[in-house]
Chains A and B, each alone.
Chain A
């Protein structure tokens, strides 16, 4: 059964007792061991793969060298025949036969290597997939466990706290009250600031037409005109 399915069953309807483990500690250890084993196997498979790939390359090189020798000796045999030396041509032909036998052997080995590589690559892919899958599932189990433990810790804090789980409504009201208080404080601070700066008094005096009135451009223009008139 997949872990998520297990978790689903376990949490459905809150049937589970608080603190009851979904997968026991031993189960988790086994799971972790499985992941570690899979990682080791993966490491080994990768090392094998590089070895086999190196051997495949070597064999391919040997085959191409043999191909070169064969065509070279075929040329020699032709030359011997041209010179009418049948015996030498036959000897060369035997040599070519040796090369071809050797080549056939190498080709068989090469086929084995290629198959091995395909198999190893498949193995590696599967190991990687299974490691990832196991890690994801383990992480789900561990997260559930952590949240559970955290919840117990939170519960004991909340219970010892005087501000224990009061109703959400009350909490919200207190928060909103505090926000309002802060707003009011901010407003009061602003009022106080303008008062101490004398802004408030000035504003009142201006309203009453007392004190330094604002000179506006019309006044200035009138003053200039008056000067000119003098």
Chain B
């Protein structure tokens, strides 16, 4: 599914009790990125990018600088351990930012995509809540 098409479909769609807002990020000639806000949570938007094989949904959680220096190793270790039990999403790092993401096959159905987005949004909030003790006050 093209990101444009996805954006249009999301606008009028509601699932698992939540609605979506989405818009394409202006990035002429370069990689298309769709910004999706699930259930009005502007602070944790999901950025959707399509590559040849997969649809990547990424939500940025916090930057490296926000982590308490003495707890960084422990945090990294914990995040690695959480990757398997956390449903559909995994933790990652892009540049200096920690992120949570999900990767879907490009042939995924619209329902698969919305389920992924809702799950990712929930996971992002829950993860942030759980990780707060590791962050600077």
| Contact across chains for A163 and B43 when beta carbons are under 8 A apart | yes
Contact B53 A143, beta carbon cutoff 8 Å: yes
Interface residues of A in 121-158 (CB under 8 A from B): 139, 142-143, 146-147, 149-154, 157
**Complex Cα distance A146/B56, Å?**
10
Number of chain B interface residues as a range: 35 or more
Task: Please classify how large the interface on chain A is, using the bins under 10, 10 to 19, 20 to 34, 35 or more.
Answer: 20 to 34
Q: Which of B25, B42, B50, B125 contacts A172 (CB 8 A)?
A: B125
User: Using Cβ atoms and an 8 Å threshold, which residues of chain A touch B94?
Assistant: 147, 151
Q: Which of A142, A163, A168, A172 contacts B51 (CB 8 A)?
A: A142
How many residue-residue contacts, CB under 8 A, span A and B?
85
Interface of chain B: mostly helix, strand, loop or mixed: mixed
**Which residues 51-78 of B sit at the A interface, judged by CB distance below 8 A?**
51-54, 56, 58, 60-63, 66
Q: CA A142 – CA B106 in complex, angstroms?
A: 14
A-facing mask of B18-56, CB < 8 A → 1, else 0?
Answer: 000000011100110101000011111001011111101
Is A175's CB within 8 Å of the partner chain B?
yes
Closest chain A residue to B96, Cβ basis: A14
Q: Say yes or no: A168 contacts B52, CB within 8 Å.
A: no
Is there an interface contact between A172 and B33, defined as CB atoms closer than 8 Å? no
Q: Taking the nearest CB of chain B, how far is it from the CB of A220, in angstroms?
A: 44
Q: Cβ of B56: which chain A residues have Cβ within 8 Å of it? A: 143, 146-147, 150
B49 touching A150 by the CB < 8 A rule?
yes
Q: Is A167 an interface residue (CB 8 A)?
A: yes
Establish whether residues B25 and A175, one from each chain, have CB atoms under 8 Å apart when the complex forms.
no
B96-137 near A? 1/0 per residue, CB < 8 Å: 110000000000000000000000000001001101100111
In the assembled complex, 11 residue pairs joining A and B whose CB atoms fall closer than 8 Å, in A order, are: A146-B50, A147-B56, A150-B56, A153-B25, A153-B26, A154-B60, A166-B43, A167-B136, A168-B135, A172-B125, A172-B128
Q: Which 9 A-B pairs have the closest CB atoms?
A: A168-B62, A171-B43, A149-B31, A153-B27, A150-B49, A146-B51, A150-B33, A172-B128, A153-B33
